[in-house]
Amino acid sequence: MCGIVGYTGGKQAYPILIDGLKKLEYRGYDSAGVALLQDRGVTVFKKEGKVAKLEAHVGVSDVASHTGIGHTRWATHGEPCDRNAHPHLSRSGRIAMIHNGIIENYAQLKTELLKEGYVFHSDTDSEVLLNFIEDIQIKNECSLEEAIRIALKRVTGAYVILLIDQAYPDTIIAARKGSPLVIGIGQNEHFLGSDASPMLAYTKEVVYINDYELAIVKPDELILKNLGNEIITPYVQKLDMELAAIEKNGYDHFMLKEIFEQPQTIFDSLRGRMDAQKNQITLSGIDAIADKIMAARRIIIVACGTSWHSALVAEYVIEELCRINVEVEYASEFRYRNPIISSEDVIIAISQSGETADTLVALENAKEQGATIYGLVNVVGSSIARISNAGSYTHAGPEIGVASTKAYTAQLAVLQLIALKIAKLKGTIDDQKFTYFIQQLDAVPEKVQWILDNQVEEIQRIAKKYSDANDVLYLGRGYNFPTALEGALKLKEISYIHAEGYPAAEMKHGPIALVDETLPVIFVATKDSYHEKIVSNIQEIKARKGKIIAIVSEGDNRVEELADDIMVVPNCDEIIAPLLAAIPLQLLAYYIGVERGLDVDQPRNLAKSVTVE
Ligand code: F6R
């Protein structure tokens, strides 16, 4: 959370920083600010709210500068307001700093500084760290770089920090632990960002900075060091991403664009990995740890939010096809509850961003205890991808809408491949069934396209009809129980309507008390082995006058007769159904959010990449 950008080079820094902040706004939008190195010293502009408000605030001020840093905030310490916005200035006014992360021992550092007479102008942990650095620099009469190194050895928590100091023209000093930092290399210029999107228009050569590394960045020089002051050779990588991938391309919102991209992104996630002719799935990550998987006593899947929902689907699929015990864990619980882990465990981590703090730390802990980590990640080069022993990318491309859509279905697609691949290795699937599932998966992109071509108008109508609801219940069974959870999560985050997902049969044990003629109940009722059961559940809700909205398989007249409204998906095997059923629920949440006049790409209080615990 929080987006950071930096630029030093021959161009004007301000427009690059503003454009970069807009690209990173998905990481937080409580406030925005920039600091520029100018002839007269360091100038800071900052404002509560989105980047557009910052631009209006800056207006026609003098922003001429070739070196600057910028920040878009997701508030942790201190309410969103101008005062708490970054960049912060040090006591001398000489140094400006932006920070993404949390300094856990900031209170102790603050007490020390208060005793020294420091006065703080914000409630942030970041301002404390900045003054702690300056205090060290003054007392030790050392360089800024040295002061940062000393300070960071005393700091606990997570950070990416970028500093500019009027004593060091053209220079940005950056350091990272636990939050992402990418440096883009241009012609006599460098770009810094929480991800590569701010630099994509200028360069495709990037360096991903690792934990405990410090970068001294000048237009024509990038020096990388560890906290022990040893020089590290930067590992330059080529970005495989086009600018169009991070633009709206005519859609009203990124979320809508990303929903409509799914036929392609699902195709991309499967591409080159399955061969129906040869009856083969190629996943080099699984091959790399095949011996561990064969010997594993169980697979633990660790994730948060939407990724946790795809983990639940995977639990059902892997146990069914591979006959191996699977446990699904919330990363935030797993990391703190002292789980029993050994070298006989294989852990699959699922994460779109690859930066989710809870997932990352849960993996670090498990790795220390000998477990093998398999990362299923969307963002190439992200922290989770890098600490994994092996893994697969989901290849969904950049997901910018805060609510996850295409990354979710790409996760589901690759998890299906993983299950099939493991089943083949373990011999728990016969050739005929294997071919059948490959064919089923192969048909998914086309079926998703069918939903997008044929159901959008009807879903818009349903969205209008129920957009005033106060509560919505989502029910599903079996493979589509997680679909119900995901549908409810999408609606909550986009429309601010209270929504709950439940296993359909479980509603009799409590939630049924909520049902009256005002409650919309969304059933994920595609044709599967639970179908008769879910039809009974629909009857139970109908008998209590709840409004029934059902996702049904094409041609299912029975549920159509019972339901007030239906959203249709093509027929498919029940194992594949979550990939299709997710689409109408994403669209429904989107159109309800739009109907309510909300900012669906940047819902309140949320941020895309949750890099704080
Ligand atoms: C919901 C959503 C979040 C994320 C969660 C995990 O739409 O996007 O629930 O799924 O924060 O994020 P990743 O997958 O990046 O680890």
Confidence of residue 605 (pLDDT cuts 50, 70, 90): confident
Confidence of residue 422 (pLDDT cuts 50, 70, 90): very high
Q: What is the pLDDT of residue 608?
A: 75
pLDDT digits (tens, 9 = 90+) for 343-382: 999 999 999 999 999 999 999 999 999 999 999 999 988 8
Q: What is the pLDDT of residue 511?
A: 87
Q: Tokens 């639990």 sit at which residue? A: 315
Q: What is the pLDDT of residue 158?
A: 85
Angle between helices 444-454 and 456-466 (to 10 degrees): 60
pLDDT digits (tens, 9 = 90+) for 376-415: 999 988 889 999 999 999 999 999 999 999 999 999 999 9
Token reading at 85: 């916005």
Which residue has a Cα nearest atom 4 of ligand 1?
305
Q: Ligand 1 in contact with 310 (CB < 6 A)?
A: no
Is the peptide bond prior to 339 cis by the omega test (within 30 degrees of 0)? Answer: no
How remote is the CA of residue 351 from the centroid of ligand 1, in Å? Answer: 7
Q: Is the pLDDT of residue 190 over 90?
A: yes
Give the Cα separation of 591 and 490 in Å (integer). 11
- The mean pLDDT of 586-598, rounded to a whole number, is 97
Q: What is the pLDDT of residue 546?
A: 93
**Host H or E run for residue 345:** strand 345-351
pLDDT digits (tens, 9 = 90+) for 494-548: 999 999 999 999 998 988 899 999 999 999 999 999 899 999 999 999 999 999 9
* Percentage of the chain exceeding pLDDT 90: 87
Atom of ligand 1 nearest to the CA of 408: 10
Which residue has a Cα nearest atom 10 of ligand 1?
306
β partners of residue 328: 301
Q: Tokens 């636990």 sit at which residue? A: 178
- The mean pLDDT of 597-613, rounded to a whole number, is 84
Nearest to 257 by CA among 395, 400, 114, 455: 400
> Domains plus CATH for the chain?
3-245 (3.60.20.10), 250-442 (3.40.50.10490), 443-613 (3.40.50.10490)
Cβ neighbour number for residue 595 with a 10 Å cutoff: 16
Give the Cα separation of 354 and 194 in Å (integer). 12
Cβ neighbour number for residue 93 with a 10 Å cutoff: 11
Q: What is the pLDDT of residue 249?
A: 86
Q: What is the pLDDT of residue 381?
A: 83
Among this protein's residues, is 547 annotated catalytic?
no
Q: What is the pLDDT of residue 450?
A: 98
Alpha helices (H) along 323-393: 331-334, 357-368, 383-387
Identify which of 356, 378, 412 to mutate to test ligand 1's pocket (most ligand atoms within 8 A of the CB).
356
How remote is the CA of residue 9 from the centroid of ligand 1, in Å? Answer: 35
Q: What is the pLDDT of residue 432?
A: 94
Tell the burial category of 360 from Cβ atoms under 10 Å away from its Cβ (0-12, 13-18, 19+). Answer: buried
Which of 8-22, 66-80, 263-277, 334-348 holds the top average pLDDT? Answer: 8-22
Q: What is the pLDDT of residue 113?
A: 96
Token reading at 281: 């799935």
Pairwise pLDDT comparison (340 vs 76), residue with the higher score: 340
Q: Ligand 1 in contact with 383 (CB < 6 A)?
A: no
Q: What is the pLDDT of residue 138?
A: 96
β partners of residue 412: none
Among this protein's residues, is 304 annotated catalytic?
no
pLDDT digits (tens, 9 = 90+) for 74-130: 888 788 999 999 999 999 999 999 999 889 899 999 999 999 999 999 999 999 999
CB 82 within 8 A of CB 48: yes
Identify which of 304, 377, 382 to mutate to test ligand 1's pocket (most ligand atoms within 8 A of the CB).
304
Whether pTM > 0.85 for this model: the answer is yes
Identify which of 74, 306, 353 to mutate to test ligand 1's pocket (most ligand atoms within 8 A of the CB).
306
CB 476 within 8 A of CB 504: yes
Q: What is the pLDDT of residue 607?
A: 78
Instruction: Give me the sheet containing 157-165, strands edge to edge.
Output: 88-89, 95-103, 157-165, 172-177, 213-218, 221-226, 231-232
- The mean pLDDT of 22-29, rounded to a whole number, is 90
β partners of residue 163: 97, 173
Q: What is the pLDDT of residue 610?
A: 78
CB 607 within 8 A of CB 3: no
CB 326 within 8 A of CB 301: yes
Q: Ligand 1 in contact with 405 (CB < 6 A)?
A: no
Q: What is the pLDDT of residue 588?
A: 98
Write down the mean pLDDT value for the chain.
94
Q: Ligand 1 in contact with 610 (CB < 6 A)?
A: yes
Q: What angle do CA 602, 306, 315 make, to 5 degrees?
A: 175
Q: What is the pLDDT of residue 465?
A: 97
- Cα-Cα-Cα-Cα torsion 260, 262, 265, 267, nearest 10 degrees, comes to -120
Cβ neighbour number for residue 288 with a 10 Å cutoff: 15
